[in-house]
Amino acid sequence: MSEEHNYDLVVVGGGPAGSSAAFAAATNGIKVALLEKEESIAETVRTSGVTWIQNIKEFGIPDDCFNPIKNFSFCSPNNEVTISDVVPRAAVLDVRKTYRWLANEAKKQGVDIFVKMNIKNIIKNKNGDIIGVKGIGSNGETTFHSKVVIDATGFPSTVCKAMGFATQWERFGAGAEYEVKAENVDEDTWWLMVGQEYSPAGYAWIFPLGNNIVRIGVGVGKPESNVDPTQRLKEIMEKKLGPIKKLGELTEIEFHYGLIPNDGLSRKTVFNNLILVGDSAGQANPLVLEGIRYAIKFGRVAGKVVADAVKSGKTDEKSLYPYEENWRKEIESKINSAGKVQDRWIGLTDDEWDKELDIIKELKSEEFIDFIKADFGLSNMIKLATHHPKLAVRQLFNLVKGKK
Protein backbone atom coordinates (compact mmCIF):
# COMPACT_ATOMS: atom_id res chain seq x y z
CA MET A 1 0.00 0.00 0.00
CA SER A 2 1.33 3.47 -0.88
CA GLU A 3 0.22 7.05 -0.31
CA GLU A 4 0.89 10.35 -2.08
CA HIS A 5 0.65 13.84 -0.64
CA ASN A 6 1.17 17.34 -2.02
CA TYR A 7 2.46 20.19 0.15
CA ASP A 8 3.98 23.62 -0.26
CA LEU A 9 6.67 22.69 2.26
CA VAL A 10 7.91 19.40 3.66
CA VAL A 11 10.07 19.63 6.77
CA VAL A 12 12.16 16.53 7.51
CA GLY A 13 12.98 16.19 11.20
CA GLY A 14 10.74 16.88 14.20
CA GLY A 15 13.31 18.49 16.51
CA PRO A 16 13.33 22.17 17.51
CA ALA A 17 14.51 23.39 14.10
CA GLY A 18 11.94 21.38 12.16
CA SER A 19 8.97 22.17 14.40
CA SER A 20 9.87 25.86 14.48
CA ALA A 21 10.20 26.06 10.69
CA ALA A 22 6.90 24.23 10.20
CA PHE A 23 5.19 26.53 12.73
CA ALA A 24 6.39 29.73 11.06
CA ALA A 25 5.60 28.54 7.55
CA ALA A 26 2.06 27.46 8.46
CA THR A 27 1.49 30.66 10.44
CA ASN A 28 2.32 32.51 7.23
CA GLY A 29 -0.32 30.65 5.29
CA ILE A 30 1.20 27.74 3.38
CA LYS A 31 0.48 24.00 3.54
CA VAL A 32 3.11 22.16 5.59
CA ALA A 33 4.03 18.57 6.49
CA LEU A 34 6.45 17.74 9.32
CA LEU A 35 8.08 14.29 9.10
CA GLU A 36 9.64 12.54 12.10
CA LYS A 37 11.29 9.11 11.90
CA GLU A 38 10.71 8.11 15.55
CA GLU A 39 7.44 6.89 17.03
CA SER A 40 6.87 10.24 18.73
CA ILE A 41 8.45 13.68 18.86
CA ALA A 42 11.54 13.57 21.13
CA GLU A 43 11.19 9.85 21.79
CA THR A 44 15.00 9.83 22.03
CA VAL A 45 16.80 12.66 23.83
CA ARG A 46 20.16 13.60 22.29
CA THR A 47 20.99 16.84 24.07
CA SER A 48 21.59 18.11 27.59
CA GLY A 49 19.07 20.91 27.01
CA VAL A 50 21.11 23.97 28.04
CA THR A 51 19.79 27.32 26.85
CA TRP A 52 19.29 30.90 28.02
CA ILE A 53 16.43 32.69 29.79
CA GLN A 54 16.51 35.58 27.30
CA ASN A 55 15.81 33.17 24.43
CA ILE A 56 13.17 31.24 26.38
CA LYS A 57 11.21 34.47 26.83
CA GLU A 58 11.69 35.37 23.17
CA PHE A 59 10.29 32.00 22.06
CA GLY A 60 7.43 31.90 24.59
CA ILE A 61 8.49 28.52 26.02
CA PRO A 62 6.25 27.72 29.04
CA ASP A 63 7.67 27.91 32.58
CA ASP A 64 7.09 24.21 33.23
CA CYS A 65 9.47 23.29 30.39
CA PHE A 66 12.71 24.41 32.08
CA ASN A 67 14.68 24.80 35.29
CA PRO A 68 16.22 28.30 35.75
CA ILE A 69 19.92 28.60 36.67
CA LYS A 70 21.44 31.49 38.68
CA ASN A 71 24.87 30.13 39.61
CA PHE A 72 27.63 28.89 37.30
CA SER A 73 30.31 26.72 38.88
CA PHE A 74 33.53 25.62 37.22
CA CYS A 75 35.78 22.84 38.46
CA SER A 76 39.30 22.07 37.24
CA PRO A 77 41.66 19.50 38.81
CA ASN A 78 42.86 21.94 41.53
CA ASN A 79 40.53 24.91 41.35
CA GLU A 80 36.85 25.68 41.76
CA VAL A 81 34.98 28.93 41.10
CA THR A 82 31.33 30.00 41.17
CA ILE A 83 29.78 33.03 39.47
CA SER A 84 26.49 33.90 41.14
CA ASP A 85 23.57 36.16 40.31
CA VAL A 86 20.29 37.18 41.91
CA VAL A 87 18.32 36.44 38.74
CA PRO A 88 18.49 33.35 36.50
CA ARG A 89 20.19 33.88 33.14
CA ALA A 90 20.48 30.27 31.95
CA ALA A 91 18.15 27.28 31.96
CA VAL A 92 18.09 23.52 31.58
CA LEU A 93 15.21 22.39 29.40
CA ASP A 94 12.93 19.45 29.89
CA VAL A 95 13.89 18.45 26.36
CA ARG A 96 11.01 16.09 25.69
CA LYS A 97 8.37 18.48 27.00
CA THR A 98 9.88 21.46 25.13
CA TYR A 99 10.19 19.70 21.78
CA ARG A 100 6.64 18.37 22.07
CA TRP A 101 5.38 21.84 22.93
CA LEU A 102 7.10 23.21 19.79
CA ALA A 103 5.55 20.48 17.63
CA ASN A 104 2.13 21.07 19.15
CA GLU A 105 2.39 24.79 18.41
CA ALA A 106 3.02 23.84 14.77
CA LYS A 107 0.07 21.45 14.80
CA LYS A 108 -2.20 24.22 16.10
CA GLN A 109 -1.29 26.23 12.98
CA GLY A 110 -2.44 23.38 10.73
CA VAL A 111 0.82 21.49 10.19
CA ASP A 112 0.31 17.80 9.38
CA ILE A 113 2.71 15.74 11.49
CA PHE A 114 3.77 12.28 10.29
CA VAL A 115 5.65 10.17 12.86
CA LYS A 116 7.37 6.83 12.16
CA MET A 117 8.22 8.23 8.73
CA ASN A 118 11.67 7.11 7.64
CA ILE A 119 12.96 8.97 4.56
CA LYS A 120 14.43 6.61 1.99
CA ASN A 121 14.68 8.64 -1.21
CA ILE A 122 14.53 12.16 -2.54
CA ILE A 123 12.56 13.23 -5.61
CA LYS A 124 14.24 15.47 -8.21
CA ASN A 125 13.00 17.31 -11.26
CA LYS A 126 14.71 17.23 -14.66
CA ASN A 127 17.12 19.95 -13.51
CA GLY A 128 18.23 17.90 -10.54
CA ASP A 129 16.45 20.10 -7.98
CA ILE A 130 14.60 18.53 -5.07
CA ILE A 131 10.80 18.46 -5.38
CA GLY A 132 9.90 16.03 -2.60
CA VAL A 133 10.86 12.96 -0.59
CA LYS A 134 9.80 9.34 -0.27
CA GLY A 135 9.52 7.59 3.04
CA ILE A 136 8.43 4.35 4.66
CA GLY A 137 5.72 4.81 7.27
CA SER A 138 3.01 2.86 9.05
CA ASN A 139 1.03 2.51 5.81
CA GLY A 140 3.98 1.52 3.65
CA GLU A 141 5.67 3.78 1.12
CA THR A 142 4.58 7.42 1.19
CA THR A 143 5.48 10.07 -1.37
CA PHE A 144 5.54 13.73 -0.42
CA HIS A 145 5.60 16.20 -3.31
CA SER A 146 6.57 19.73 -2.30
CA LYS A 147 7.69 23.09 -3.60
CA VAL A 148 10.35 23.35 -0.89
CA VAL A 149 12.03 20.90 1.50
CA ILE A 150 13.69 21.88 4.77
CA ASP A 151 16.38 19.53 6.07
CA ALA A 152 16.09 19.63 9.86
CA THR A 153 17.43 16.10 10.37
CA GLY A 154 20.20 17.30 12.68
CA PHE A 155 23.68 15.82 12.68
CA PRO A 156 22.96 13.13 10.00
CA SER A 157 21.85 15.78 7.44
CA THR A 158 19.85 13.10 5.63
CA VAL A 159 18.34 15.17 2.81
CA CYS A 160 21.40 17.33 2.23
CA LYS A 161 23.64 14.26 1.91
CA ALA A 162 21.17 12.49 -0.39
CA MET A 163 21.34 15.51 -2.70
CA GLY A 164 25.14 15.29 -2.68
CA PHE A 165 25.50 18.77 -1.17
CA ALA A 166 27.53 17.73 1.90
CA THR A 167 29.67 14.96 3.33
CA GLN A 168 30.02 13.87 6.98
CA TRP A 169 31.10 16.50 9.49
CA GLU A 170 34.87 16.37 10.06
CA ARG A 171 34.82 17.92 13.56
CA PHE A 172 32.05 17.20 16.02
CA GLY A 173 31.28 16.70 19.67
CA ALA A 174 30.15 13.35 21.07
CA GLY A 175 28.23 13.56 24.32
CA ALA A 176 26.97 10.94 26.77
CA GLU A 177 24.90 11.65 29.87
CA TYR A 178 22.81 9.97 32.53
CA GLU A 179 19.68 11.58 33.83
CA VAL A 180 19.59 10.60 37.50
CA LYS A 181 17.71 11.19 40.73
CA ALA A 182 20.24 12.60 43.23
CA GLU A 183 20.18 12.76 47.00
CA ASN A 184 21.54 16.34 47.23
CA VAL A 185 20.91 18.88 44.46
CA ASP A 186 21.45 22.64 44.33
CA GLU A 187 18.80 23.32 41.71
CA ASP A 188 20.02 26.88 41.01
CA THR A 189 23.55 25.81 40.05
CA TRP A 190 25.11 24.09 37.08
CA TRP A 191 28.64 22.66 37.00
CA LEU A 192 31.15 22.54 34.15
CA MET A 193 34.16 20.30 34.87
CA VAL A 194 37.35 20.66 32.84
CA GLY A 195 40.74 18.95 32.71
CA GLN A 196 42.18 15.71 31.39
CA GLU A 197 40.48 13.43 33.93
CA TYR A 198 37.05 14.73 32.97
CA SER A 199 37.57 15.06 29.20
CA PRO A 200 40.78 15.41 27.17
CA ALA A 201 39.05 17.56 24.53
CA GLY A 202 35.85 18.84 26.02
CA TYR A 203 34.21 19.02 29.44
CA ALA A 204 31.90 17.24 31.84
CA TRP A 205 28.75 18.71 33.34
CA ILE A 206 26.08 18.56 35.99
CA PHE A 207 22.84 20.24 34.89
CA PRO A 208 19.87 20.27 37.33
CA LEU A 209 16.33 19.85 36.02
CA GLY A 210 14.45 20.37 39.29
CA ASN A 211 12.79 17.81 41.58
CA ASN A 212 16.24 16.45 42.55
CA ILE A 213 16.90 15.29 38.99
CA VAL A 214 20.22 16.12 37.32
CA ARG A 215 21.96 15.32 34.06
CA ILE A 216 25.58 14.23 34.48
CA GLY A 217 27.47 14.09 31.21
CA VAL A 218 30.75 14.10 29.32
CA GLY A 219 31.45 15.69 25.95
CA VAL A 220 34.51 14.80 23.86
CA GLY A 221 35.72 16.60 20.75
CA LYS A 222 36.32 14.46 17.66
CA PRO A 223 38.76 13.83 16.06
CA GLU A 224 40.88 15.63 18.70
CA SER A 225 40.42 12.73 21.13
CA ASN A 226 39.61 9.03 20.71
CA VAL A 227 38.16 8.78 24.25
CA ASP A 228 34.72 7.18 24.39
CA PRO A 229 32.46 9.65 26.26
CA THR A 230 30.22 6.84 27.55
CA GLN A 231 33.15 5.01 29.13
CA ARG A 232 34.62 8.20 30.56
CA LEU A 233 31.22 9.14 32.03
CA LYS A 234 30.96 5.79 33.79
CA GLU A 235 34.47 6.22 35.19
CA ILE A 236 33.93 9.70 36.64
CA MET A 237 30.58 8.67 38.12
CA GLU A 238 32.09 5.56 39.73
CA LYS A 239 34.95 7.65 41.16
CA LYS A 240 32.50 10.42 42.16
CA LEU A 241 34.98 12.97 40.84
CA GLY A 242 34.79 16.61 41.92
CA PRO A 243 31.28 17.95 42.54
CA ILE A 244 29.68 14.60 41.65
CA LYS A 245 30.45 13.39 45.17
CA LYS A 246 28.30 16.22 46.58
CA LEU A 247 25.22 14.72 44.91
CA GLY A 248 25.14 11.74 47.29
CA GLU A 249 23.32 8.59 46.21
CA LEU A 250 22.37 8.45 42.51
CA THR A 251 19.52 6.54 40.89
CA GLU A 252 19.71 6.29 37.09
CA ILE A 253 16.57 7.27 35.16
CA GLU A 254 17.73 7.16 31.51
CA PHE A 255 20.78 7.43 29.29
CA HIS A 256 21.26 9.98 26.49
CA TYR A 257 23.81 10.06 23.67
CA GLY A 258 24.20 12.66 20.94
CA LEU A 259 26.46 14.14 18.31
CA ILE A 260 26.72 17.84 17.44
CA PRO A 261 28.65 19.41 14.54
CA ASN A 262 31.70 21.49 15.39
CA ASP A 263 32.94 22.39 11.91
CA GLY A 264 31.92 26.01 12.29
CA LEU A 265 29.56 27.53 9.74
CA SER A 266 31.20 25.70 6.88
CA ARG A 267 28.10 24.70 4.92
CA LYS A 268 26.08 26.53 2.35
CA THR A 269 22.51 26.29 3.64
CA VAL A 270 20.33 27.35 0.70
CA PHE A 271 19.82 25.63 -2.66
CA ASN A 272 17.02 25.54 -5.21
CA ASN A 273 13.92 24.38 -3.25
CA LEU A 274 16.01 23.37 -0.21
CA ILE A 275 17.04 24.94 3.10
CA LEU A 276 19.21 23.48 5.89
CA VAL A 277 18.50 24.56 9.46
CA GLY A 278 19.76 23.75 12.97
CA ASP A 279 22.45 21.08 13.30
CA SER A 280 22.06 20.25 9.60
CA ALA A 281 23.38 23.75 8.96
CA GLY A 282 26.09 23.51 11.62
CA GLN A 283 24.44 26.25 13.69
CA ALA A 284 26.07 25.42 17.04
CA ASN A 285 27.98 27.44 19.63
CA PRO A 286 31.46 25.85 19.85
CA LEU A 287 32.16 26.90 23.45
CA VAL A 288 29.60 24.66 25.13
CA LEU A 289 28.29 22.97 21.96
CA GLU A 290 24.69 24.11 22.34
CA GLY A 291 22.39 25.10 19.50
CA ILE A 292 18.74 24.73 20.52
CA ARG A 293 18.20 28.50 20.51
CA TYR A 294 19.68 28.75 17.00
CA ALA A 295 17.48 25.87 15.85
CA ILE A 296 14.30 27.58 17.04
CA LYS A 297 15.25 31.11 15.99
CA PHE A 298 16.51 30.31 12.51
CA GLY A 299 13.89 27.59 12.04
CA ARG A 300 11.31 30.34 12.36
CA VAL A 301 13.25 32.53 9.95
CA ALA A 302 13.43 29.67 7.44
CA GLY A 303 9.68 28.99 7.70
CA LYS A 304 8.83 32.64 7.04
CA VAL A 305 11.25 32.89 4.11
CA VAL A 306 9.80 29.71 2.55
CA ALA A 307 6.23 30.98 2.94
CA ASP A 308 7.14 34.25 1.23
CA ALA A 309 8.92 32.38 -1.58
CA VAL A 310 6.05 29.96 -2.17
CA LYS A 311 3.56 32.83 -2.34
CA SER A 312 5.78 34.63 -4.86
CA GLY A 313 5.90 31.52 -7.05
CA LYS A 314 9.71 31.41 -6.93
CA THR A 315 11.51 28.90 -4.71
CA ASP A 316 14.97 28.96 -6.27
CA GLU A 317 18.17 29.58 -4.33
CA LYS A 318 17.99 33.35 -4.82
CA SER A 319 14.44 33.51 -3.45
CA LEU A 320 15.39 31.47 -0.36
CA TYR A 321 18.71 33.27 0.25
CA PRO A 322 17.28 35.85 2.72
CA TYR A 323 17.33 32.99 5.25
CA GLU A 324 21.10 32.44 4.92
CA GLU A 325 21.70 36.18 4.82
CA ASN A 326 19.79 36.52 8.12
CA TRP A 327 21.66 33.88 10.13
CA ARG A 328 25.08 34.76 8.74
CA LYS A 329 24.62 38.42 9.67
CA GLU A 330 23.52 37.49 13.19
CA ILE A 331 25.95 34.75 14.23
CA GLU A 332 28.73 34.11 11.70
CA SER A 333 31.41 36.40 13.19
CA LYS A 334 30.45 35.36 16.75
CA ILE A 335 30.73 31.65 15.98
CA ASN A 336 34.06 32.17 14.22
CA SER A 337 35.40 34.04 17.27
CA ALA A 338 34.10 31.37 19.64
CA GLY A 339 35.83 28.74 17.53
CA LYS A 340 39.17 30.45 18.15
CA VAL A 341 38.60 30.42 21.91
CA GLN A 342 37.58 26.75 21.72
CA ASP A 343 40.76 25.90 19.80
CA ARG A 344 42.74 27.48 22.63
CA TRP A 345 40.77 25.65 25.33
CA ILE A 346 41.27 22.26 23.69
CA GLY A 347 45.05 22.65 24.06
CA LEU A 348 45.08 23.56 27.77
CA THR A 349 46.86 21.38 30.32
CA ASP A 350 45.39 20.76 33.78
CA ASP A 351 47.68 23.44 35.27
CA GLU A 352 46.60 25.90 32.61
CA TRP A 353 42.93 25.13 33.31
CA ASP A 354 43.52 25.90 37.00
CA LYS A 355 44.78 29.35 35.94
CA GLU A 356 42.00 29.82 33.39
CA LEU A 357 39.42 29.52 36.16
CA ASP A 358 41.11 32.38 37.98
CA ILE A 359 40.47 34.47 34.87
CA ILE A 360 36.84 33.36 34.54
CA LYS A 361 36.01 34.15 38.18
CA GLU A 362 36.73 37.84 37.51
CA LEU A 363 33.65 38.04 35.28
CA LYS A 364 30.26 39.26 36.39
CA SER A 365 27.32 36.97 35.74
CA GLU A 366 26.08 38.83 32.65
CA GLU A 367 29.64 39.02 31.28
CA PHE A 368 30.13 35.30 31.79
CA ILE A 369 26.85 34.54 30.01
CA ASP A 370 27.77 36.79 27.07
CA PHE A 371 31.09 34.96 26.85
CA ILE A 372 29.81 31.39 27.17
CA LYS A 373 26.94 32.17 24.74
CA ALA A 374 29.58 33.27 22.20
CA ASP A 375 28.05 36.76 22.13
CA PHE A 376 31.27 38.41 20.98
CA GLY A 377 29.93 41.77 19.87
CA LEU A 378 32.34 44.69 19.67
CA SER A 379 30.56 46.56 22.48
CA ASN A 380 30.81 43.50 24.76
CA MET A 381 34.53 43.19 24.12
CA ILE A 382 35.20 46.88 24.85
CA LYS A 383 33.14 46.66 28.05
CA LEU A 384 35.09 43.61 29.22
CA ALA A 385 38.46 45.18 28.49
CA THR A 386 37.41 48.27 30.46
CA HIS A 387 36.02 46.38 33.47
CA HIS A 388 38.86 43.84 33.66
CA PRO A 389 42.26 45.46 33.21
CA LYS A 390 44.10 42.31 34.32
CA LEU A 391 46.53 41.15 31.64
CA ALA A 392 45.18 37.59 31.82
CA VAL A 393 41.65 38.75 31.04
CA ARG A 394 42.91 40.80 28.15
CA GLN A 395 44.70 37.74 26.82
CA LEU A 396 41.53 35.66 27.10
CA PHE A 397 39.54 38.09 24.99
CA ASN A 398 42.32 39.17 22.66
CA LEU A 399 41.30 36.43 20.23
CA VAL A 400 37.87 37.96 19.74
CA LYS A 401 38.29 41.68 20.45
CA GLY A 402 37.30 43.82 17.50
CA LYS A 403 35.05 41.21 15.91
CA LYS A 404 31.76 42.64 14.71
- pLDDT tens per residue, range 151-173: 999 999 999 999 999 999 999 99
The residue from 208, 233, 261 where one domain ends is: 261
Q: Answer whether residue 59 is part of any domain.
A: no
> What is residue 347's predicted lDDT score, i.e. its pLDDT?
80
Q: Are residues 239 and 370 in the same domain?
A: no
pTM, 2 dp: 0.94
Instruction: For 334, list phi and psi in degrees, rounded to 5.
Output: -65, -45
Distance of alpha carbon 346 from alpha carbon 351, whole angstroms = 13
- pLDDT tens per residue, range 13-56: 999 999 999 999 999 999 999 999 999 999 999 999 999 999 99
Q: Answer whether residue 51 is part of any domain.
A: no
Distance of alpha carbon 403 from alpha carbon 325, whole angstroms = 18
The terminus-to-terminus CA distance of the chain in angstroms comes to 55
* Host H or E run for residue 3: strand 2-12
Q: Are residues 181 and 244 in the same domain?
A: yes
Distance of alpha carbon 324 from alpha carbon 305, whole angstroms = 10
The mean pLDDT of 305-334, rounded to a whole number, is 97
The torsion region of residue 44 among left (phi > 0), alpha (psi -120 to 50) and beta comes to beta
Distance of alpha carbon 263 from alpha carbon 269, whole angstroms = 14
Structure confidence at residue 381 as a pLDDT band (50, 70, 90): low
Q: Answer whether residue 198 is part of any domain.
A: yes
Q: Answer whether residue 50 is part of any domain.
A: no
Q: Are residues 291 and 245 in the same domain?
A: no
Q: Are residues 358 and 226 in the same domain?
A: no
> What is residue 400's predicted lDDT score, i.e. its pLDDT?
46
Distance of alpha carbon 392 from alpha carbon 355, whole angstroms = 9
> What is residue 371's predicted lDDT score, i.e. its pLDDT?
82
> What is residue 14's predicted lDDT score, i.e. its pLDDT?
98
The residue from 241, 261, 281 where one domain ends is: 261
CB 148 within 8 A of CB 125: no
Q: Exposure pattern of 217-256 as b/e (b: 16+ CB <10 Å)?
A: bbbbbbebbebebbebbeebbeeebbbbeebeebeeeeeb
> What is residue 346's predicted lDDT score, i.e. its pLDDT?
85
CATH classification at residue 212? 3.30.9.10
Q: Which of 24, 1, 14 is nearest to 299 (CA)?
A: 24
CB 359 within 8 A of CB 393: yes
> What is residue 197's predicted lDDT score, i.e. its pLDDT?
94
Average pLDDT, rounded, for the chain: 92
Task: Tell me what percent of the residues of the chain surpass a pLDDT of 90.
Answer: 81
Residue 326 DSSP class: H
CB atoms within 10 A of CB 64: 11
> What is residue 392's predicted lDDT score, i.e. its pLDDT?
44
Q: Answer whether residue 58 is part of any domain.
A: no
Is the pLDDT at 368 greater than 90? The verdict is no
Q: Are residues 127 and 161 in the same domain?
A: yes
> What is residue 192's predicted lDDT score, i.e. its pLDDT?
96
> What is residue 295's predicted lDDT score, i.e. its pLDDT?
98
- pLDDT tens per residue, range 97-134: 999 999 999 999 999 999 999 999 999 999 999 999 99
Q: Are residues 162 and 175 in the same domain?
A: no
Q: Answer whether residue 60 is part of any domain.
A: no
> How many Cα neighbours within 13 Å face the side chain of 320?
24
Q: Are residues 190 and 295 in the same domain?
A: no
> What is residue 389's predicted lDDT score, i.e. its pLDDT?
52
Structure confidence at residue 402 as a pLDDT band (50, 70, 90): very low
3-state secondary structure of 137: strand
Q: Are residues 136 and 113 in the same domain?
A: yes
- pLDDT tens per residue, range 223-242: 999 999 999 999 999 999 99
Q: Answer whether residue 192 is part of any domain.
A: yes
pLDDT-wise least confident of 175-184, 293-302, 352-361, 395-404 = 395-404
Is the pLDDT at 365 greater than 80? The verdict is yes
3-state secondary structure of 22: helix
> What is residue 355's predicted lDDT score, i.e. its pLDDT?
87
Q: Are residues 303 and 165 in the same domain?
A: yes
Number of folded domains in the chain?
A: 3
Q: Are residues 208 and 292 in the same domain?
A: no
Q: Are residues 18 and 155 in the same domain?
A: yes
Residues making up the chain, counted from first to last: 404
The mean pLDDT of 281-306, rounded to a whole number, is 96
The residue segments making up the domain with residue 310 are: 2-45+96-169+265-330
> What is residue 376's predicted lDDT score, i.e. its pLDDT?
66
